[in-house]
Structure 1
Amino acid sequence: MARSSAEDMELRRSCVVAIAGNGGKEEEIVLSIRVAKGRGIFEKLGRLAEPRVLAVTTKRSSRSEKIKAFIRVLKYSSGAGLEPAKLYKLKHLTKLEVVANDPSGCTFFMGFDNIRSHSVAPPQWTMRNIDDRNRLLFCILNLCKEILARLPKVVGIDIVELALWAKDNTPVVTTQVTTTEESNQDGATVTVVTEREVQVVSVEKDLLVSHAEEEEEDMESMQSLLGMYLMGIGETEAFSERMKEELLALEATNVYSLLEVEPLVDEVVQGLDSATFCIDDIDEWLQIINVKLRHMREDIASIESRNNTMELLSDNCKGLVAELDRLLNHICIPPEYSTVLTAGSFEEKRMLKHVEACEWLSGALRSLETSNIEPCYANMRAVRERHQELEKLKAVFVKRAMDFLRNYFSTLADFMLNDKNYFAQFRGQLKRPDHSDLRFKCRTYARLLQHLKSLDRSSLIPLRKAYCQSLNLLLRREAREFSNELRSITKTPRNAPAWLEGSISSNDTSMVSEAYSNMLKIFIPLLVDESSFFAHFMCFDGIDNKDDDDDLEIMDPDGNEDKPDTTSSELDALNDALKDLLDGIQEDFYAIIDWAWKVDPLRCISMYGVTERYLSGQKTDAAGFVHKLLDDLRSKIVSQFNKFIEEVCHQIERNERNIRPPIGVLSYMTKFENLASRMEQNIQGQSRDMIDKAYSKLVGAMFATLEKIAETDSKSFDIVLIENYAAFQNSLFELANVVPGLAMFYHLASENYEQACTRLCNFVINIVCLSCYLGIYLFFLSYEFDFFVKFEQIPFQQGLSKADLRKVLKYSLTGIERSFNGMNRKLQKSLSSQELLPSLWDKCKKEFLAKYEAFVEMVLKIYGNEPVTPVAEMKQLLASL
Structure 2
Amino acid sequence: MAKSSAYDEELRRACEAAIESTKQKVAFSIRVVKGRGIWGKSGKVKHMGKARVLAISTKSKGQRTKAFLRVLKDSTGGELEAAKLYKLKHLSKVEVITNDPSGCTFTLGFDNLRSQSVAPPQWTMRNIDDRNRLLLCILNICKDIMGRLPKVVGIDVVEMALWAKENTPKVTNQRTVQDGQPVARTVSESDLNVTVEKELVSQAEEEDMEALLGTYVMGIGEAEAFSERLKRELLALEAANVHAILESEPLIDEVLQGLEAATNCVDDMDEWLGIFNVKLRHMREDIESIETRNNKLETQSVNNKALIEELDKLLERLRVPSEYAACLTGGSFDEACMLQNIEACEWLAGAVRGLEVPNLDPTFANIRAVKEKRAELEKLKTTFVRRASEFLRNYFASLVDFMISDKSYFSQRGQLKRPDHADLRYKCRTYARLLQHLKSLDKNCLGPLRKAYCSSLNLLLRREAREFANELRASTKASRNPTVWLEASTGSGQNVNAADTSTVSDAYSKMLTIFIPLLVDESSFFAHFMCFEVPALVPPGGVANGGKSGYNDDDANDDDLGIMDIDDNDSKVGKNSAELAALNESLQDLLDGIQEDFYAVVDWAYKIDPLRCISMHGITERYLSGQKADAAGFVRLLLGDLESRISMQFSRFVDEACHQIERNERNVRQMGVLSYIPRFATLATRMEQYIQGQSRDLVDQAYTKFVSIMFVTLEKIAQTDPKYADIFLLENYAAFQNSLYDLANVVPTLAKFYHQASEAYEQACTRHISMIIYYQFERLFQFARRIEDLMYTITPEEIPFQLGLSKMDLRKMLKSSLSGVDKSISAMYKKLQKNLTSEELLPSLWDKCKKEFLDKYDSFAQLVAKIYPTENIPSVTEMRDLMASL
Normalized against structure 1, the TM-score is what? 0.63
Structure 2 partner of 1:625: 634
Q: Cα distance 1:349–1:711, how it changes in 2: closer, same or farther (>3 A)?
A: same
Report SS of the residue matched to 1:517: helix
Aligned to 1:512: 504
Partner Cα separation in structure 2 for residue 790 and residue 625 of structure 1: 85
Superposition map of 1:55-70 within 5 A? none
| 2:653 aligned with 1:651 | no
- Partner Cα separation in structure 2 for residue 687 and residue 372 of structure 1: 62
Q: Kindly tell me: are residues 803 and 558 of structure 1, through their superposed partners in 2, closer, same or farther at Cα, counting changes over 3 Å?
A: closer
Picking from 586, 590, 611, the partner of 1:577 is 586
Query: Is 1:744 aligned to residue 786 of structure 2?
Result: no
Alignment of 1:663-702 (within 5 A): 663-702=671-710
One of 523, 544, 558 as aligned partner of 1:549: 558
Once the two structures are superposed, what CA deviation does each residue of 1:303-340 show, in whole Å capped at 9, x if it has no partner? 66544432222111111122222223333333332222
Deviates more, 1:565-574 or 1:523-532: 565-574
Decide whether the 8 Å contact of 1:341 with 1:396 is kept in 2: yes
Note closer, same or farther for the CA distance 1:760–1:505 as it changes in structure 2 (3 Å cut): closer
After superposition, the Cα gap between the structure-2 partners of 1:750 and 1:783, relative to the gap in structure 1 and judged at 3 Å, is closer
**Do residues 834 (structure 1) and 826 (structure 2) align?**
no
Tell me if structure 2 keeps the 8 A contact 1:605–1:682. Answer: yes
In structure 2, C-alpha distance between the alignment counterparts of 1:783 and 1:414, rounded to whole Å: 97
Structure 2 counterpart of 1:413, one-letter code: V
Which aligned pairs between 1:244-259 and structure 2 lie closer than 5 A? none
Cα deviation for residue 620 of structure 1 reads 2.2
User: In the TM superposition, what is the alpha-carbon distance from 1:809 to its structure 2 partner?
Assistant: 2.2
**Deviation digits for residues 356-381 of structure 1, max 9, x if unmatched?**
22212222222222333333222223
Q: Deviations over 1:666-703 (max 9, x none)?
A: 11111211101110111123241001000011111111
- Aligned residue for 1:592? 601
Contact kept, 8 Å, 1:652 with 1:705, in 2: the verdict is yes
2:651 is the counterpart of 1:642 = yes
Q: Following TM superposition, by how much is the alpha carbon of 1:819 offset from its aligned partner in structure 2, in angstroms? A: 1.2
Alpha-carbon deviations, 1:217-267, whole Å to 9, x = none? xxxxxxxxxxxxxxxxxxxxxxxxxxxxxxxxxxxxxxxxxxxxxxxxxxx
Distance 1:484-1:563 versus aligned 2 partners, 3 A rule = farther
Partner of 1:873 in structure 2?
878
Q: Structure 2: which amino acid aligns with 1:657?
A: R
- Of 387, 391, 397, 1:400 maps to 387
Name the residue aligned to 1:311. Answer: 298
CA distance in 1, matches of 2:874, 2:366: 128
Question: How large is the Cα RMSD of the aligned pairs?
Answer: 2.6
Partner of 2:524: 532
Contact 1:776-1:808 within 8 A present in 2 as well: no
1:753 to 739, 748, 761: 761
1:809 aligns with 2:814: yes
Question: Could you say what secondary structure the match of 2:423 adopts?
Answer: helix
Give me the whole-angstrom Cα distance separating, in 1, the residues matched to 2:798 and 2:665: 56
**Shift of residue 775, structure 1, vs aligned partner:** 4.2
CA distance in 1, matches of 2:344, 2:502: 60
User: Quick one: structure 1 residues 555 and 854, their matched pair in 2 at CA, closer, same or farther if it must change by over 3 Å?
Assistant: same
Q: Is the 8 A contact 1:502 1:674 kept in 2?
A: no
Give 1:804 shift. Answer: 2.7
Report the CA distance shift for 1:649/1:780 in structure 2 as closer, same or farther (over 3 A): closer
Q: 8 Å contact 2:527–2:534 — kept in the other structure?
A: no
1:377 pairs with one of 345, 359, 364: 364
**Offset at residue 711 of structure 1 (A):** 1.3
The structure number with the bigger radius of gyration is 1
Per-residue CA shift, 1:162-186, capped at 9, x if unaligned? xxxxxxxxxxxxxxxxxxxxxxxxx
CA distance in 1, matches of 2:591, 2:830: 74
Deviations 1:99-129 (A, max 9, x none): xxxxxxxxxxxxxxxxxxxxxxxxxxxxxxx
TM-score for both structures, normalised by structure 2: 0.63
Q: How does 1:460-539 map to 2 (within 5 A)?
A: 460-493=446-479, 496=482, 499=485, 506-539=498-531
Q: Distance in 2 between matches of 1:557 and 1:822?
A: 101
The CA deviation string for residues 774-825 of structure 1, in whole angstroms up to 9 with x for no partner, is 1442353255256322223222333323333233223322111111111111
Distance 1:635 1:872 in 2: 67
**Identity in percent:** 63
Secondary structure of the residue aligned to 1:430 is: coil
Superposed CA offset, 1:59-102 (max 9, x none): xxxxxxxxxxxxxxxxxxxxxxxxxxxxxxxxxxxxxxxxxxxx
> Tell me, which stretches of 5 or more residues in structure 1 are unaligned?
1-291
Match of 2:352 in 1: 365
| Aligned: 1:331 with 2:313 | no
CA offsets, 1:138-158, max 9 Å, x none?
xxxxxxxxxxxxxxxxxxxxx
SS in 1 for 2:740: helix
The yes-or-no answer on 1:792 pairing with 2:779 is no
Offset of 1:493 from its aligned partner? 1.6
2 CA distance for matches of 1:457 and 1:776? 98
Q: Which residue number in structure 2 is paired with residue 855 of structure 1?
A: 860
- Which one-letter code corresponds to 1:462 in the other structure? P
Indicate how the Cα distance of structure 1 residues 749 and 779 shifts in structure 2: closer, same or farther if over 3 A, else same.
closer
| Match among 319, 338, 343 for residue 351 of structure 1 | 338
Is the contact between residue 544 and residue 566 of structure 1 (CA under 8 Å) also seen in structure 2? no
**Structure 2 Cα separation of the partners of residues 724 and 633 of structure 1:** 39
Q: AA paired with 1:868?
A: I
How far does residue 634 in structure 1 lie from its aligned partner after superposition? Answer: 0.9
Residues in 1 aligned to 2:606 and 2:443: alpha-carbon distance in whole angstroms: 48
Mapped partners of 1:444, 1:300: distance in 2: 73
Once the two structures are TM-superposed, the CA of residue 429 in structure 1 deviates from its matched residue by 3.9
Instruction: Judge conservation of contact 2:483–2:653 (CA < 8 Å) in 1.
Output: no
- Contact 1:503-1:674 within 8 A present in 2 as well: no
Distance in 2, matches of 1:561 and 1:455, equals 13
Kindly tell me the number of residue pairs found equivalent between the two proteins: 586
Amino acid at match of 2:794: V
1:608 corresponding residue in structure 2: 617
Q: Distance in 2 between matches of 1:368 and 1:317?
A: 23
Please state whether the residue corresponding to 2:722 is helix, strand or coil. Answer: coil
1:370 match: secondary structure: coil
Moved more, 700-709 or 792-801: 792-801
Contact 1:783/1:794 (<8 A) preserved: no
Between the aligned partners of 1:486 and 1:783, the Cα distance in structure 2 is 78
Q: Distance in 2 between matches of 1:796 and 1:450?
A: 113
2:861·2:876 contact (CA, 8 Å) conserved in 1?
yes
In structure 2, how many angstroms separate the alpha carbons of the residues matched to 1:737 and 1:698?
Answer: 19
Higher relative contact order (CA 8 A, sep 6+): 2
| Aligned with 1:455 (options 441, 459, 468) | 441
Any residues of structure 2 matched to 1:759-774 within 5 Å, and which?
A: 759-767=767-775, 769-770=776-777, 773-774=778-779
For 2:796, give the aligned amino acid.
Answer: F
Q: Which of residues 399, 402, 409 in structure 1 aligns to 2:396?
A: 409
Preserved CA contact (<8 Å) 1:532 1:623: yes
- The verdict on how the C-alpha distance between 1:815 and 1:544 changes in structure 2, with shifts beyond 3 A counting, is same
C-alpha displacement of 1:830: 0.9
